[in-house]
Amino acid sequence: MTQIAHSTDPSLPLTPDSLLRAQGGVARTDQLVSGGLTPKHIRAQVAARRWQRYGDHCIVTHNSSPTRLQWMWIALLDHPGPVALAGVTVLQSRGFKFFGRELDLIHIVVPRGTSYHQFPDVKIHESRRFTAGDIHPQSRIPRTFVPRSALDASAWQPYPRYACALLAAVVQQRLCTASDLANELQFVGRIRHKAHMRLAIQDIVGGAEALSEIDIAVLCRKFGLRPPDRQRIRRDRSGRKRYLDCEWTLDDGSIVVLEVDGGHHMLVEHWGKDMKRERGVVISGRRVLRASAFEARYEQAELAADLEAIGVPRVVRV
């Protein structure tokens, strides 16, 4: 009998009802036959339009449009070999928020060189390094582990900047740690954007949790400036914890803070909060510089010159 990994508890009998409950109302024809249904009964249900066929092997046990979860099961069950949800689809199942049409797609990973049925809004990725051992053993639906999913999703991005942004967002949203990503990166082999991802992960390990902070790390390396202490915690006058984007303690003991503003900072509700926050930083004795995310990415020479002018030292090369 063909049974997809982890879809049911192997200690329980695979009755059609238990199988369909475990697989969202979707099953392979051979699974239903192994559970006790006859091919004639299955054909009769399909002919009466109570059930529907999808792909080469799958049955959906209702006559309306499949849900997103059912499309996932259809794409997984129709493939004969090791197969799993992958990339941003796995991250979404853990609550991930990102951008781009790829969030509407269902991402599936299969071994390189295998054949598969093409379904609408399902993106199949072939991988030389994917085996059954990459599938999470406790997941109700076959999926890859989060660190691998994050690296795959990044490698499938069209541009390295998007790849780095995705990794930063994964860590910022607490789906896994930067150390998890660094460990997984050791085993990925040759993938797209790997060099950029390695540097981004190093910056995230150092405390960067947003793409703008990674841009500042790149800026410091490029222009030879001392890297900042990122996401440093301070307490405001009411005792609440506050986080600063980038902070340098200069040789004279003074402290400079660089706040990098994304587009959302221009909204009125954020602007007011930012002004109050900045006043608290200044009252604490720090000097504050502000820059836009655009400057941090595209006008690095000017921003580096301003940082050096205020006292951020250059790294001494030996």
Closest residue by Cα to residue 72 from 26, 32, 111, 112:
26
Count, residues in the chain: 318
Q: Domain span at residue 234?
A: 211-310
| CATH code of the domain covering residue 218 | 3.40.960
Q: What tens digit of pLDDT does each residue of 19-36 get? A: 999 999 999 999 999 999
Rg, C-alpha atoms of the chain: 25
Do 139 and 160 lie in one domain? The reply is yes
Last residue of a domain, one of 174, 205, 236: 205
* Mean pLDDT, residues 86-96 taken together: 94
Q: What tens digit of pLDDT does each residue of 112-145 get? A: 988 888 898 999 999 998 999 999 999 999 999 9
Do 96 and 176 lie in one domain? The reply is yes
What is the distance between the alpha carbons of residues 312 and 56, in angstroms, rounded to a whole number? 63
Full-model pTM: 0.69
Task: Name the pairing type of β-strands 58-60 and 26-28.
Answer: antiparallel
Query: pLDDT-based confidence at 274, cuts 50/70/90?
Result: low
Assigned domain for 119 exists: yes
Residue 7 has pLDDT above 90, yes or no: no
Q: How much is the pLDDT for 315? A: 84
Q: How much is the pLDDT for 282? A: 60
Last residue of a domain, one of 27, 52, 78: 78
Assigned domain for 115 exists: yes
Do 84 and 201 lie in one domain? The reply is yes
Assigned domain for 257 exists: yes
For tokens 């303690």, what's the residue? Answer: 249
Assigned domain for 159 exists: yes
Last residue of a domain, one of 205, 224, 242: 205
Do 195 and 216 lie in one domain? The reply is no
Count structural domains, the chain. 3
Do 3 and 112 lie in one domain? The reply is no
Do 261 and 184 lie in one domain? The reply is no
What is the distance between the alpha carbons of residues 242 and 50, in angstroms, rounded to a whole number? 58
- Give 244's Cβ-side CA count (13 Å radius): 27
Measured at the CA of 288, the angle between CA 285 and CA 289, to 5 degrees, comes to 160
* Mean pLDDT, residues 200-228 taken together: 81
